[in-house]
């Protein structure tokens, strides 16, 4: 298969657009975090830890929210409301992480690494100027993810 294909590009762009519309809709978003666990899990075969009686962000854990904020920063229009929301969420997520007031598990930390990678891929220096990420701190964390 060729490295680049218009058919694959078209397929993926539709998926990206659909994901952007979903995130923009606010569905499964409580104003701070996207739900990590939803009641509809109970309607399908699932591991016991995904069973729930309520939609939940799991105590404001930034899994998957940090990664989704990065996705928004990477793929949404730079002047859109969705982009501004992504930057705001990313800043809150980084503030929570740097405050070190809660333990973040392996999966949540992976979401932060993906957030940082998306920001780097966006090549958006405005994100850096807003104080979300300082470039000197980015390379060591990405090196850990790639090792």
For residue 24, tell me if it sits in a domain. Answer: yes
Higher-pLDDT residue of 112 and 99 is: 112
Range in 15-19, 60-64, 95-99, 141-145 the model is least confident about: 141-145
- Note the pLDDT of residue 30: 86
Residue 32: the pLDDT is 87
Q: Does 144 score more than 50 pLDDT? A: no
Domain membership of residue 119 as a residue range: 6-146
Q: What is the pLDDT of residues 2-38, one digit of tens each?
A: 455 445 545 555 566 677 788 888 888 888 888 887 7
Domain count, the chain: 1
Residue 43 has pLDDT above 80, yes or no: yes
Taken as a whole, the chain contains a residue count of 147
Residue 66 pLDDT: 92
- Which comes out higher in pLDDT, residue 53 or 92? 92
Q: Which of the four pLDDT bands, split at 50, 70 and 90, describes residue 135? A: very low
54 found inside a domain: yes
Residue at 27 is within a domain? yes
Report the predicted TM-score, pTM, of the whole model to 2 decimal places. Answer: 0.73
pLDDT digit string, tens, across residues 67-96: 999 989 888 888 889 988 998 898 889 888
Distance CA 104, CA 119 (A): 20
* Domain assignment of residue 1, yes or no: no
Q: How far is CA 1 from CA 7, 15, 62, in A?
A: 12, 20, 37
Residue 121 domain-assigned (yes or no): yes
Q: Would you call 29 helix, strand, or coil by DSSP? A: strand
Sign of the torsion formed by the C-alpha atoms of 37, 108, 122 and 6: negative
């Amino acid at each position: 298969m060729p490295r680049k294909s218009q058919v694959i590009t078209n397929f993926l762009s539709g998926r990206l657009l659909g994901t952007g519309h979903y995130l923009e809709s606010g569905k499964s978003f409580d104003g701070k975090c996207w739900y990590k666990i939803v009641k509809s899990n109970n309607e399908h075969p699932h591991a016991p830890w995904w069973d729930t009686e309520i939609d939940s962000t799991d105590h404001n854990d930034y899994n998957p929210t940090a990664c989704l904020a990065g996705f928004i920063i990477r793929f949404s229009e730079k002047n859109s409301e969705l982009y501004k929301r992504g930057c705001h969420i990313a800043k809150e997520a980084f503030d929570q992480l740097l405050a070190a007031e809660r333990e973040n598990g392996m999966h949540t930390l992976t979401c932060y690494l993906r957030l940082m990678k998306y920001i780097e891929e966006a090549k958006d220096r405005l994100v850096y100027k807003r104080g979300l990420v300082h470039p000197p701190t980015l390379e060591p964390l990405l090196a850990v993810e790639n090792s």
